[in-house]
Amino acid sequence: MTATARARTLVASAERMVVLTGAGMSAESGVPTFRGPAGLWKSFRPEELATPRAFARDPRLVWEWYAWRRSLVADCQPNPAHLALARFALEAPGRTTTVTQNVDGLHHRAARSVADDLGMSSPEPAFALEVHGAIHRDRCSGCARLVDTPAEVDATDATSLPRCDHCGHLMRPDVVWFGEPLDPDVIGAAFAAARAADLCLVVGTSALVHPAASVPDVTLRSGGIVVEVNLEPTPLSPRATSSVMGRAGELLPEILA
């Protein structure tokens, strides 16, 4: 039996599944991953820009990076991996919970388009828990007020950066930076789904960033198993019952068929 066929059998016999996704899930949509050559921006490592200290030191530079990523993501479409997962979740509501580290919103977009195709009123069962936030939303760095559809950011000079019309503080992307706590309700829901799952499907993540990277271990500790899909082995591979090497966009439609 091929690794893909085995993964498909394991997924088919799972009662409750939690899915953890990372940048590799969106790679085939054209969104650069973090590690490896594609992750660099103007020779900055993501960890150098995605921090409160970087924003305090040079908000214009940080906004220039997020404006670049926002415009890039806006031109990307969900790929067959996002669509297969959305269909799987919508066809058996309550059976699957998706937890994503991605801030690109592509899981939500896939959920909406598949729900339309299936003539379903609510895409919500296929919405992902965005534990690291969402790049298309702004949040005030002072009063935390959210702006869902922010204006395009002109990051050419610091005086033109967006400010809160309530308290005047600088707006920032509504993402979680390194050294910042995750939203306790969102990560709490992710861990609860991981505890209740008998299978954790891990797709396109190097499983290095915490606490998201410990979602599979929560499922393992509560007696469940891990199935991994990645281009290459990761620190998680030794703990996976099945590790399928390849591209998520090609493998997930087969595994979730």
Give me the residues that bind ligand BV8 (CB under 6 A), please: 22-24, 27-28, 33-35, 39, 47, 50, 101, 103, 132, 175-181, 204-206, 208-210, 212, 229-232, 234, 247-248
For 40, other C-beta atoms within 10 Å of its C-beta total 13
- Which of 103, 140, 225, 240 binds Zn ion (CB under 5 A)? It is 140
Burial category of 71 from C-beta neighbours within 10 Å (exposed 0-12, middle 13-18, buried 19 and up)? exposed
Question: Rule CB under 5 A: is residue 166 a binding residue for Zn ion?
Answer: yes
Contact 86, 110 (CB under 8 A): yes
**61: partner contacted, choices Zn ion, ligand BV8, none (Cβ within 5-8 A by kind):** none
**Min separation Cβ 141 and Zn ion, Å:** 8
Burial category of 18 from C-beta neighbours within 10 Å (exposed 0-12, middle 13-18, buried 19 and up)? buried
**Min separation Cβ 180 and ligand BV8, Å:** 6
**143: partner contacted, choices ligand BV8, Zn ion, none (Cβ within 5-8 A by kind):** Zn ion
Catalytic positions are: 132
| DSSP H or E stretch at residue 21 | strand 17-21
| CA 187 to each of CA 163, 181, 207: distance values in angstroms, whole numbers, following the listed order | 28, 10, 16
User: Could you give the 3-state DSSP secondary structure of residue 48?
Assistant: helix
**Min separation Cβ 13 and ligand BV8, Å:** 23
Binding site for Zn ion (CB under 5 A): 140, 142-143, 145, 164, 166-167, 169
